[in-house]
A and B are shown apart, each in its own frame.
Chain A
C-alpha cells in the first residue's frame, strides 16, 4: 500500500480548514456556524493524523481522540446554549443576537 505524502494530507486538511472558516464567516444560522467550527476542528485533527503518520508516532492519533472528545463537549454546551437562545429570541439567526454592541 502506498502511503500518502505529508504535503497532500496537509493540503487536504488546509482546504477543509478554509472551507470551515469561510462558512463560519458567511453563515448566519447559529447551528450551521457550530457545524462549520466542527469542520475546522476536524481539519486540525486530520492534520495531526497526517503529521503523526509522517513521524510514525501515535501522538497524532492520540491528539485526534482528544480533539473529538473536546468537540463533543463543546457541541453539547453549544446546543444547550442555542436552545436557550432560541427560547429567548424565537430565531436561530445570529444577527438577532445583537443586543450588545459598541
Chain B
C-alpha cells in the first residue's frame, strides 16, 4: 500500500467517510435535511476528486485498477447516485418512516458499485458486489409498512443470494483451474492453453448466471418486475441504473482484461441471451398496465441492446456501450423521477390510470415524461436515438446481422408500449380531482429542477452528441491496449 494509492482511491474513501459520518449524525440527532446535505456534499466532493484523476491510469495491485474505463464508470455512478439522492428528498419527506438511514444505505450501495467497476480481482469483485447487494436488500424493503416492499425485498434477497452462490462457485472453479483470481493473470492463463478445460468452462458458465442476474437479462430476469414494482421509486431508479451499469462495467473489464472475446461458445451464449432479452423484455412489456413493471421489462430489453454493442468486442463496441449507458441512465432516472414526483403518501403512482390526462393537469411533468419515454423508444433528437444508432453502427461494423436485425425489430415493438403511455397522458378526461399537495413549494421546485436538468441533458446529448463522444473517446484512450 503506497500513499499515492489513497489519492487514487479518494472518491471511494470519501463515500466511506460520508457513510460513517451519516451514521454518527443519525446517532446524535435525526434530521432529514442535515443527512441529505452531507450526502449531496459527499457526492460532489467525490466527483470533484474524481475529476483530478482524469487521464491517469494507475494500478493498485492486485485488487484495483484506475483507468479511463474505471473513471468513466465511477463518474457515471457518482452522478447518477447524486441525482437519485436529489429525487429522494421530496419523496421521503412525505413519508412517515425514519428517512435518515436511507441515505446511509444509498451511499453504501454506491460505494459497492464503485468498487465493482474498478476491480480487477475476484475478491474485490465479490466485496463490491456484496456491499451493493446487501445495501440494496434493505433499500428495496425500506418502506417496511408496505406489503409490496417486504415481498420485493425478500424475493430479491433470496434470488440475489442464490445468484451470488452461483457466481462464487464459478469463481472457485476458475480459481481451481487457473490458480489465480486476478483478471489479467487469468488472461495470461487463457492465452497459454489451446483448449479450455471443462472445469473452467463450467466455472465461466456459473459466473454468467451470477452476472446475468445482476444485469437482469433473460433468463435471469424474473426478479426485475416484482422488485421494480415493490421498491420505492428512487430505489427503483437506482437499481435500474447503478446496479446494472456497475455490473456491465465489470463485465467489459473482465472480458477485455482476460481477453475472453476470442471464445466463440462464450460469445454464442451472450448472443442468445441478448436476443432473448430484447424479445422477452419488449413482448412482456406489451401487456403491462403498471408503469413500473413496464419500465422493468423495458430495462430488460435495453440491457439486451447494450449486450449487442458488448458483443462487438472492439473499441467501437465499448464506446457504444458507454454512450448507451449514459443515455439509458439519464432517461431511466428521468422516467422513475417522474414516478417518484407523482407518488403520494399512500402508494407509488404506478398504474397507467394515474397518468391518464396528466398533460392537462401537470403539463411540465407530462412533457418531461413524454421526452423520456421517446428517448427510451429511440426517437430522433433524443439521447436514446443516438445511443441506439451507435449500437447499430457497432453491430454493422462487426457484421452481426442477426443481432442488428433483432435490434431494429425490437425497437419497433418497443415503440408501441411507450406510445401507449404517452397517449394515455394526452387523453382528455372529465374533471379530475387534483391530488392534494402537502409538499413545501421549495421541495417540489427542487425535484422539478432536477427533472428539468435531466430532460435538458437528454435533449442536449440527443441533438449534440459530439461532446459526449469525445469525452468517452478521451477516457477510453487509457483503457484496453489490447484492441
Contacts and interface: CB of A to CB of B under 8 A. Distances in A.
Contacts of B151: 85, 97-100
B412 to A, nearest CB: 23
Given A51-B176, A59-B181, A100-B229, A85 B154 contact: yes
Contact of A33 (B158, B164, B293): B158
A7 B23 CA distance: 47
Interface string A32-49: 011001001101110110
Nearest to A43: B169
B154 A6 contact: no
Nearest to A69: B130
Contacts of A60: 172, 175
Nearest to A16: B169
Interface in B111-164: 122-123, 126-127, 130, 133-134, 137-138, 141, 144, 147-148, 150-155, 157-158, 161-162, 164
B88 to A, nearest CB: 20
Interface string A88-101: 11000010011111
A47 B173 CA distance: 7
A12 interface: no
The A contact surface, by secondary structure, is helix
A21 B166 CA distance: 10
Interface string A67-79: 1001001100110
Given A24-B158, A78-B154, A57 B130 contact: no
Given A47-B172, A60-B175, A66 B288 contact: no
Nearest to B153: A81
A48 B148 contact: no
Given A33-B158, A85-B154, A51 B175 contact: yes
B175 A102 contact: no
B165 A17 contact: yes
A63 B367 CA distance: 50
Contact of A43 (B153, B162, B165, B181): B165
A10 interface: yes
B414 interface: no
A70 B173 contact: no
A70 B134 contact: yes
A81 B123 contact: no
Contacts of B137: 74, 77-78, 81
B395 interface: no
Given A73-B134, A82-B154, A88-B147, A44 B162 contact: no
Contacts of B148: 99-100
A99 B176 contact: no
Contact of A74 (B152, B161, B169): B161
A78 B157 contact: yes
Contact of A63 (B123, B154, B230): B123
Nearest to B173: A47
Contact of B176 (A54, A73, A74): A54
Contact of A81 (B154, B226, B229): B154
B153 to A, nearest CB: 5
B161 A84 contact: no
A72 B204 CA distance: 26
B141 A81 contact: yes
Nearest to A14: B169
A6 B177 CA distance: 10
Given A40-B165, A44-B168, A70-B134, A63 B126 contact: yes
B141 A84 contact: yes
A17 B157 contact: no
A33 B94 CA distance: 35
Centre residue among B152, B179, B288 by max chain A CB count within 10 A: B179
Contacts of A89: 147
A63 B288 CA distance: 43
A73 B130 contact: yes
B425 to A, nearest CB: 22
Nearest to B170: A44
A30 B155 CA distance: 10
Contacts of A78: 137, 154, 157-158, 161
B225 interface: yes
A22 interface: no
Contacts of B133: 74
Given A73-B134, A81-B150, A101-B226, 14 more contacts: A13-B172, A37-B162, A40-B162, A43-B169, A44-B172, A48-B168, A63-B123, A63-B172, A70-B130, A70-B164, A88-B147, A97-B150, A99-B151, A102-B290
19 contacts: A21-B162, A37-B165, A41-B165, A44-B172, A47-B173, A51-B176, A54-B179, A55-B175, A63-B126, A66-B126, A67-B168, A70-B130, A70-B164, A77-B134, A84-B141, A84-B144, A89-B147, A97-B155, A98-B151
Interface of B: 122-123, 126-127, 130, 133-134, 137-138, 141, 144, 147-148, 150-155, 157-158, 161-162, 164-166, 168-169, 171-173, 175-176, 179, 181, 199, 225-226, 229-230, 287-288, 290, 293
Which 6 A-B residue pairs are closest in the complex by CB-CB distance?
A51-B176, A47-B172, A44-B168, A40-B165, A44-B169, A55-B179
